[in-house]
Amino acid sequence: MLDLWLRYGDRLIDGAVITVKLVALACLIGLVLAIPLALARRSDRRWIAVPAYLYIYFFRGTPLIVQLALLYYGLAQFEAVRESPLWIVLGDAETCGLLGLTLNTTAYVAEILRGGIAAVPKGEVEAAEACGMSRATVYRRIVLPRAIRIAWPAYGNEVILLMKGSALVSTITVYDLMGETRSVFSRGYDDTVYLYAAALYLALALAVTGAFRLGERQMNRYLRAAG
Amino acid sequence: MIPEILQFGDTGFGDELVVGALVTLEIALYSLAIGLALGLAAASAKLSRAPALRAAAEAYSLLVRGIPELLIILLVYYSGGAAIEALLKIFGYDGGFDFNKRLAGSLALGLIFGAFASEVFRGAFMAVPKGQIEAALAVGMTRRQVFLRVRFPQMLRFALPGLGNLWMVLLKDTSLVSVIALDELMRETSVAAEATQRPFVFYLAATVLYLLLTIVSDVFRARLERHANRGVAGEAVPRRILRRSA
């Protein structure tokens, strides 16, 4: 059992690095994209709200594995795609995987943020307006910072789900932790490699949980100072 | 209108996809049954007074929460299969063990569902007002009757929205058992995509079928929640649905 780790441990670690990189980037880009999407979803103008709703429904209503296959294998079917500049992203498994994860998490985070925005107390918004802040300023200074604090625990959950979901990029030939694991397994059919992978994923999940707890404390430290 | 390769019969893969979707539904239902049983058992363990039971149930939740679904499926199928084979050998059976894929897939998905469902059930049990339990005891019901007549039915009402969400997740997670070559919708789709070299059409068709399953489930879920809340004043229509249409 141990000699399997001595032989393939480096590969699993390399895979884990790819996993962390993909998840971190998808999280970051996803969060940035989710803010306008959540605002669009809440808009009173139907031509803005409906496309946002459809985007979210599509990405939350279908399996990630199918979304990835559609992006990586599906779009490659078209000559026009293969010759367009889009191919720089879609032609490489890793960037294509990143794109898929990002599009997917954007939908989930937008939904989480929407809930957070809805939970911001009305009085705070009215107070800000009474101070003479413009709508944009109210959003930038009051609504979004408050919404992110409210949505933070749910967002932490989503990051863990995204990390678990990222294992699916192995199905489009990315050598992330799961990809390396499956390739090691296919050599000798020694299933202990799955246990190693499980331990590594678990460690990553615990690290994410810890980081979010820390972030939550940091974010809400002003509350403690007052109390 | 429908491209030839998606039609039913020998020339198209339409029938294969529909059969795959039915297998998807079948696996999801098996997993639901296993997952509900596991979830209830784990929730009871979490609420029990025995520390060992509580710790075991918490460990189960933690493990499933941190390990990718794909990996759990592979672990159950390969490591679980190997373990059963070793166990059979101890009992003197040397014929090897062929782990049925549907069974392995449903077990793995049920295991995942159960871990999350245990949290839903635990919260729902705790949400039943204490006064109702006291009232039931006061009218002379036994503990068993209180459980069957008050705690359990009331708990279900609180658990339903959470379970509905988990069902949606489960429905999508069935696509992952395609990695052990189980012939559900995702597997049928990739086989067809490879055979015809037209992956876009097939993966798009698969997303449409998954969306259909999702939409039907959504409607069904809303009805079930309304039914469960029929005895509660002002809650006849779940609030979440009101908000969505507003």
The pLDDT confidence band at residue B93, using thresholds 50, 70 and 90, is confident
Among residues A39, A161, A35, A42, which one has the least CA distance to residue A106? Answer: A35
- Strand spans (E) along chain B: none
Q: How many CB atoms lie within 10 A of CB B99?
A: 18
In this prediction, residues B24-51 reach a mean pLDDT of 96
**Residue B7 placed within a domain:** no
The pLDDT confidence band at residue B12, using thresholds 50, 70 and 90, is confident
A156-191: string of b/e by CB count within 10 Å (b at 16+)? bbbbbbbbbbbbbbbbbebbbbbbbbbbbbeeeebb
In this prediction, residues A52-60 reach a mean pLDDT of 96
Q: Verify whether the Cβ–Cβ distance A58 to B211 is below 8 Å.
A: yes
Helix, strand and coil in chain A, % to nearest 5 = 90, 0, 10
Q: What is the DSSP string of A190-211?
A: -THHHHHHHHHHHHHHHHHHHH
Percent above pLDDT 90 for chain A? 84
Q: A129-150: per-residue pLDDT in tens?
A: 999 999 999 999 999 999 999 9
Over chain A, what is the mean pLDDT?
93
A109 CB-side CA count, 13 A = 27
**Residue B8 placed within a domain:** no
What per-residue confidence (pLDDT) applies to A66?
96
**Residue A155 placed within a domain:** yes
In this prediction, residues B33-52 reach a mean pLDDT of 96
CATH code for the domain in which residue A88 is found: 1.10.3720.10
What are the Cα distances from residue A4, in Å, to A10, A131, A194, B77? 11, 65, 11, 20
Of A164, A189, A206, the CB nearest to B68: A164
Over chain B, what is the mean pLDDT?
90
The residues, ordered by sequence, that sit 6+ positions from A130 with a Cβ below 8 Å of its Cβ are: none
**Residue B172 placed within a domain:** yes
Q: What is the DSSP string of B115-160?
A: HHHHHHHHHHHHHS-HHHHHHHHHTT--HHHHIIIIIHHHHHHHHH
**Residue A46 placed within a domain:** yes
Q: Verify whether the Cβ–Cβ distance B210 to A66 is below 8 Å.
A: yes
- Which of A77, A81, A178, A209 is best to mutate for the B interface (most B CBs within 10 A)? A77
Res A124 pLDDT > 70: yes
**Residue A202 placed within a domain:** yes
SS3 label, residue A139: helix
Write out chain A residues lying below 8 Å of B190, CB-based. Answer: 69
The residues, ordered by sequence, that sit 6+ positions from A193 with a Cβ below 8 Å of its Cβ are: A4, A8, A12, A181, A184, A185
Q: Give the domain range for residue B72.
A: 13-245
**Residue A211 placed within a domain:** yes
Query: Considering only CB atoms, which residues of chain B are within 8 Å of chain A?
Result: 62-63, 65-71, 74-75, 78-79, 82, 168, 172-176, 178-179, 186, 189-190, 193, 197-204, 206-207, 210-211, 214-215
Of A65, A69, A198, the CB nearest to B67: A198
Looking at the structure of chain B, the number of domains it has is 1
Of A62, A76, A194, the CB nearest to B211: A62
What per-residue confidence (pLDDT) applies to B238?
47
Looking at the structure of chain A, the number of domains it has is 1
The pLDDT confidence band at residue A190, using thresholds 50, 70 and 90, is confident
A41, A185 in Cβ contact below 8 A? Answer: no
Out of A61-70, A110-119, B88-97, B211-220, which region has the weakest mean confidence (pLDDT)?
B88-97
**Is A76 an interface residue toward B (CB < 8 Å)?**
yes
Q: Give the domain range for residue A124.
A: 2-221
* Termini Cα distance of chain A: 53
In this prediction, residues A43-67 reach a mean pLDDT of 96
The whole-model pTM stands at 0.89
Of B82, B175, B179, the CB nearest to A191: B82
Label residue B234 exposed, middle or buried (CB < 10 Å: 0-12, 13-18, 19+): exposed
The pLDDT confidence band at residue B230, using thresholds 50, 70 and 90, is confident
CATH code for the domain in which residue B86 is found: 1.10.3720.10
**Residue A227 placed within a domain:** no
CA-based nearest distance A222→chain B, Å: 30
A169, A97 in Cβ contact below 8 A? Answer: yes
A91, A78 in Cβ contact below 8 A? Answer: no
